[in-house]
Structure 1
């Protein structure tokens, strides 16, 4: 009896060690390929059945999956591979509303984690009910309901940017005719529109779902991927949003959080930067950590945060305007000062200032041309 109990204990310990090893393999793969779950999906689980290892879960990272399976193969561990590699079929999507609301989970009651704008091409990873798990051009992974996205053919997807323009007003509308009597839909700055015709001073545009509408040609700017971003234009554009309310998860002129504001302002200058402040701080050139304000140039990003157990936590971002001023989305979009004798001094954030970085002219891997 004692021998039998010892054998059970031995098997149990061996099993626990076995599981700990596999857990450590998964953790090392995750750290290598998917350290930030906001932009990479690696959710792998395992169990045992009939002395075999059963792998479940999903990932959008082929190399990560292959690395993990290669480790198991090298150790001669037998397994059943039930891991879903996303996307498991080619589905193409383009945002179809002025603003696409992105959720943390496939539910309207789930947290608003971000937004994306009309005409944005997205990778569809999977569908669950009436919701799609998508990845936006800044690699952000989130859920959008079926009403916010148009499912299109590969040809439509590839050709949507063939002759496209960006809406350059804070907010506006498309109309059924040039007489502007009936509204087709609303627009926000940064909306990407496909122009199919011109009449008088109006452009005829086509939505991803094939609706059509007319827009005043003065309100559209041609997308030029070869144009250089201008810091002065960036500041001019940032001031157009003064007074827009704060909205957690907001990245449109209907409402901003801090990094949604900086992201949108840079988008108006043709640059796609990462979604969150803690991601934006990894891009560009470091220009200051000592509050030497003369080192900063217009358009530089200022980062704020704190240290916890020796680890830096970035939780806010703003845009340097020059002359001691910066513009930020905090309460609403507003201009503040770094100088304590200025009525616009923002003590709360200046107590948390960490560093400033320059993106324009120093576009690193996480920054893309529109």
Structure 2
């Protein structure tokens, strides 16, 4: 059992803030006579109060002093919209640090603090990490919410060109927008739709490259049926750890992109996604279900793994036996199958299957 104040703080911090994807606890302690000062940074007052309460329960005889600061009330706190097609979220404020996720064009970003040219941020799915400040268009919370609320269309092809002029000549191309990006369309100029950017600038995208959110953003099987042909176009996309676009997907990033287009906000990682939705038995898997696997347990340990192994891989069911997924071993987005007669079948799919979840509503 922890004995010293430092040991008690570390033990409590590990209990309450073990998931660094979603929580922050940069906490230190020092002693002044009979008082233990607890200082550093947490996300918000609720986290600070919960931590101090846990310390006092664990060691009621210690005079704990709460000197924690909260990032959501700090001097750097604010909001922004991503004005790049895609921007990386890093584990540390360094371009060579691990890419843990990405944020797409027009997505709201909560800024928690700055360090040089980097911002520690929280994305819409709760993920924490560091972004370079260049992609950030700073604005108010109200402006970020207003922009997102008024988006009308989404990119339906893997990558579509965006132009600075409705003539859409090649020298006017200014960006490639990835599948699933939501756009605010204000009108049309011939075959081009006029979009309003987060910073107020106007850009143009071909009408044929977009789909109205009214057609798909209602979280139904019918909506997924409508976008299914576009999923085939994603096959062959390279694997990219932390990736969420056709420049490169990881497994859960692909699922988040697909379901985001349908208006269903998935959490970021496979072990988080398996915790939600409706549990589905293996023999009841249908089109649109998410299929989860344990890819981390060594093959020799599969039969003796604990009763609740952690999901580390996810795919999307296309029918009872076949699914689409982004696989590191497969090099990117590929087909998989539980059917032993299928060319896409691997025995490991059966051995490592953990369960399935249903997120989508039945078609009307």
Normalising TM by the smaller chain, what interval? 0.7 to 0.9
Aligned counterpart, 1:318 = 315
Distance 1:176 1:78, change over 3 A: same
Map 1:1-370; keep pairs closer than 5 Å.
16-28=3-15, 30=16, 34-70=17-53, 75=60, 77-87=62-72, 88-89=74-75, 90-164=77-151, 165-181=153-169, 182-224=172-214, 227-230=218-221, 231-233=224-226, 235-288=228-281, 291-292=282-283, 295-305=284-294, 306=297, 308=305, 311-330=308-327, 331-361=331-361
Query: CA RMSD for the aligned pairs?
Result: 2.5
* Equivalent position SS for 2:225: helix
* Maintained 8 Å contact 1:45/1:57: yes
Q: Deviation per CA, 1:271-302, whole angstroms, max 9, x where unpaired?
A: 110111111111111112xx42xx11101111
Distance 1:296 1:234, change over 3 A: farther
**Deviation (angstroms), 1:25:** 4.2
Structure 1 residues not aligned, in runs of 5+: 1-14, 363-370
When Rg is computed on C-alpha atoms for both structures, the one with the higher figure is 1
Query: What is the alpha-carbon distance in structure 2 between the residues aligned to residue 199 and residue 321 of structure 1?
Result: 37
* Maintained 8 Å contact 2:217/2:262: no
Q: TM-score, normalised by structure 1?
A: 0.83
Q: Deviation per CA, 1:188-221, whole angstroms, max 9, x where unpaired?
A: 1122222344322322222223332111223233
Q: TM-score, normalised by structure 2?
A: 0.85
Query: What is the alpha-carbon distance in structure 2 between the residues aligned to residue 221 and residue 266 of structure 1?
Result: 15
| Count of aligned positions | 340
Query: What is the alpha-carbon distance in structure 2 between the residues aligned to residue 264 and residue 148 of structure 1?
Result: 20
Distance 1:226 1:186, change over 3 A: closer
* Maintained 8 Å contact 1:103/1:143: yes
**Deviation (angstroms), 1:19:** 4.4
Q: Deviation per CA, 1:246-269, whole angstroms, max 9, x where unpaired?
A: 111111111111111111111121
